[in-house]
Each structure stands twice: as C-alpha cells, then as structure tokens.
Structure 1
C-alpha cells in the first residue's frame, strides 16, 4: 500500500517537474504588413525617379554667349568680345544663344557689362546714341595724363594741366603756375574741366600710327556744357584724366 503511494507520489513529482516543458507557449507567428511593404517599395521608386529627373535636367544644357572683355553701356558687342559657354537650361532665364550671335550687331549693351558675363536679353537694347545732354569728346593722351589701368566704362574726372611754358611764352602772359586764368586759355594752371566723365572707348596701340605717336586715343562721354572747354584743352594737350574712386571695377 505504502509502496503504491510512494510510486504515485514519485510519478506525480516527475509529472510536476516535466509539465512546464510540455506546456511552453508557441511563439506568435510574425505579423505581415503588406501595406507598409508596398509603401517602402513606392518610396524607393519615387527616390529613383527623382534622381533620374535631376540627372536628366542637369543634362539639359544650352550653348550661350559670354563676354571675354568689358563692354561699356551703349556700345555694340563685337565678335572679338564673345565666346561660347554651356549653361543649364532655365525657362526663367532668357539666354542669348550662340546661334543668335549674328543678331548682336543690331543691339548695344544696356548697361556696363564685365568680362565673363553670360548674356541675357535684358542686357541688350536697340537704342543708339547718347543720353540727353551728353557729348563724346576724343582725347589723345600721353603717358602720365591717364591712369595706367584705365579701362572702358571707367568714371573719370578731366583736369586741365597747365604747361610749364606756353608756345609763345615770351610775352609773359603764360604764367603756368598762376592757376587763376580762364578755362579757354592755352597756358593755364590746373582746373577741373569735367566731372563724372565716362570712358567710352580706348583704341588699341597696335596701329602703326599710334605706335609712332606714343599717345593713347580715349573717347569720353561728358555733359555738353563741358564739351567745348574739354575739346579746347585736348587740342593743346592739356588734359589729364583721374580715375574716380567709384569708377570702374
């Protein structure tokens, strides 16, 4: 009897010890979310499509016109001052295309244009000539009568520089140091002739006649009220140009 109880007790303890192992809960099955997977695939496709569009847009380039030297306001743009450059096409920017370069002869610069500028339509105008109340005066300047780095488009002040002795200085009237004579006389002291003058053009020194004379031909735009005095002084070689602090770049 006792032996049966012990056996039953042993069997009961063994069953109690082994029962938890047999009653272990199975791991829950992995939940599938097809909507999230589809969204991830869609995002990947959109990213790839966006990258493709950017690459294609970067490849949409046009051949435009860029300047190789400065062109002052109101001046035509010569063939020697342009080159071809590739730029990204933009519907908001009206580039002047390289194939349109033949039309440049009909236009002038609407503003001072510097070297490296890529031309757009708003930079050009068909208006010719000078503004109201303006005149162009040609000068022939010797070394020392102009700044060494003078460029087209610079803003300068024209001064009368008195000669040390006038051509007919034996009459004593040509006091070159007095500085109190009138603007129109040929042997005066220093005086301002024209302020805010604009250098319109500077002729290259490659011409044989220029090389022989040693002078630099410069055309400046001045107020008409200053043109007569400046011309008279220029004819006597008594003009010196000084670069203004805000003139040119």
Structure 2
C-alpha cells in the first residue's frame, strides 16, 4: 500500500515534504580593502576640511602704502607699513620682509595710501621724464619747510643770499617754478652731514644751469607748493639805496652854510 508521503509527481518529491524548510542563503563575503578605503576617505575628508578652515584664517605680513608716492619717484621707507592679509588672496603681494629691497625701486604708477604693494607697481629703473634732469640740493634748516619733504612733492626753488656771496643770481629770483622732489636723504644717512638734508629734484633742462650754480653755492631755498601749482615768475623787488638827508639840522639856519666838523668841535660860530 502506498502512503501519501511516498507519492511523487513527475519524479520529484511532493511539495508536502518541504513544508517548514528554508532555502539556504549564501553567506555575505567581507571585503577588508573596501572597509579600509571607506575609513581613509572619511578621515581624509575631515583633514581637508580642517586644513581649509585653518588656511582661511591664516594671515601673512605684506607691504601697504602709508603715504602717496608719485609715479616715477623712488619709494621711501616712510611710505611703507606692515599689514596682515589672508594667505589665500591669490595676488603677488610683496612680503614685509622685502621692504629694504622696495626702497631701492621706483613707482611705476601713482601709489595711493592704503594700497597693497605688488610687483607690478614697482620698477628697478628710474623713470625721469624726457626733457627733465635730476639736480641735487644740500639744504640746511631754514632752506626747506620744517615739516620736511617727500618724493613726489611739488616745490619751487628760489635763489637766496649765501655766506660766500658766490651765487651770481639775485636773491629772490625764482630758479624753478615747478620742480618735483625726486628723493630725500635725511641727515646721518649715506654719510650726509648731521646738519644737512640731501634733496634731489627734477627740473626742466633749461632751468638746470641756474639751479646747479645756486646749489653749489648753498644759495637755494625750497618752498612747498599745492599739487598742480607753480610759483609765479615775478622779478625780485629792487631795493633803492638810501640817499643822505639834505634837510638842515637844528643848529643850522637856512641862510647859513653848515658848520665844518672843526667848528662844531670847538664851538666856533
């Protein structure tokens, strides 16, 4: 006798025999390399984020302009100051440590106060305009404004009396109505005497002979002018010699001649 458990259908076991059984599932394979890569990506992302935050707050010292410098003028040390900027600015700002080199260069453009100095703003060569020359002046206190001069200042040059009287130009003559300060060397620098200030100015070629002659005699005074102005070309005031008085004195009557020195000393009328 055949039981229900022994029945087969199409040569396969009956479905009843599989009741309550689970199909085996393949075991998941672990991949250590992928896990390590994931950890590296997480750690690397954290480090990059920390670096960006740190760099965004990092600041470096660079050179800023403290006072205006005209184009073509030598850049003085007094025109430079230190400022801190972000290191991710992307521009070629000149580091503060190069300030000594900058003082040996010339401005290629007009430098305004507060500007950050870049390599494109400076040049190692002089840029004196055509038709002008640079003349040196050795000045003492009283021959220039008390506040001093800066490269780029507009000045007028006047002839003054010298101690030796060797200048052939009359005192008060305008030697250069609109010169420009090219460079200034303070006392004690570059072997300059303690009581002298060396000032270099640019003047037109035709004015250079008189300026150099007066400068060699120490007979030049410098006056500071407003920007764009020049001194008027006025002739110096002529002084009239004082004539002796022809009026009779109290002891002389209009009708009598003046007494001689001998008569005055003896009292003879």
Which TM class, normalised by the smaller chain length?
0.5 to 0.7
Does residue 194 in structure 1 map to residue 176 in structure 2?
Answer: yes
Instruction: Considering Cα pairs closer than 8 Å and 6+ residues apart, tell me whether 1 or 2 has the greater RCO.
Output: 1
> Where in structure 2 are the equivalents of 1:66-215 lying within 5 Å?
66-67=64-65, 73-75=71-73, 84-88=82-86, 89-91=88-90, 93-97=91-95, 104=102, 107-113=105-111, 117-153=115-151, 154-162=153-161, 166=165, 186-206=168-188, 210-211=193-194, 214-215=195-196
Aligned to 2:224: 243
How many Å apart are 1:129 and its aligned residue?
Answer: 4.3
How many Å apart are 1:128 and its aligned residue?
Answer: 2.8
Question: For 1:101 and 1:164, how far apart are their aligned partners in 2?
Answer: 41
Q: How many residues align?
A: 175
Q: Which has the larger radius of gyration?
A: 2
Q: Cα deviation per residue 1:166-204 (whole Å; 9 max; x = unaligned)?
A: 46xxxxxxxxxxxxxxxxx62513121112211122222
Q: Cα deviation per residue 1:36-92 (whole Å; 9 max; x = unaligned)?
A: xxxxxxxxxxxxxxxxxxx7885264442235677554355578975653213444x
Aligned to 1:22: none
Q: 1:69 to 1:186 in 2, by over 3 A?
A: same
Aligned residues: CA RMSD: 4.0
Q: 1:205 to 1:59 in 2, by over 3 A?
A: same
Question: For 1:61 and 1:165, how far apart are their aligned partners in 2?
Answer: 58
Question: For 1:209 and 1:106, how far apart are their aligned partners in 2?
Answer: 18
Q: 1:190 to 1:112 in 2, by over 3 A?
A: same
> Do the aligned residues in 1 keep the contact of 2:155 with 2:224 (CA within 8 Å)?
yes
Give the number of the structure whose residues are more often helix, by fraction.
1
How many Å apart are 1:151 and its aligned residue?
Answer: 2.1
Aligned to 2:255: none
Question: For 1:222 and 1:131, how far apart are their aligned partners in 2?
Answer: 10
How many Å apart are 1:103 and its aligned residue?
Answer: 7.2
> Do the aligned residues in 2 keep the contact of 1:70 with 1:112 (CA within 8 Å)?
yes
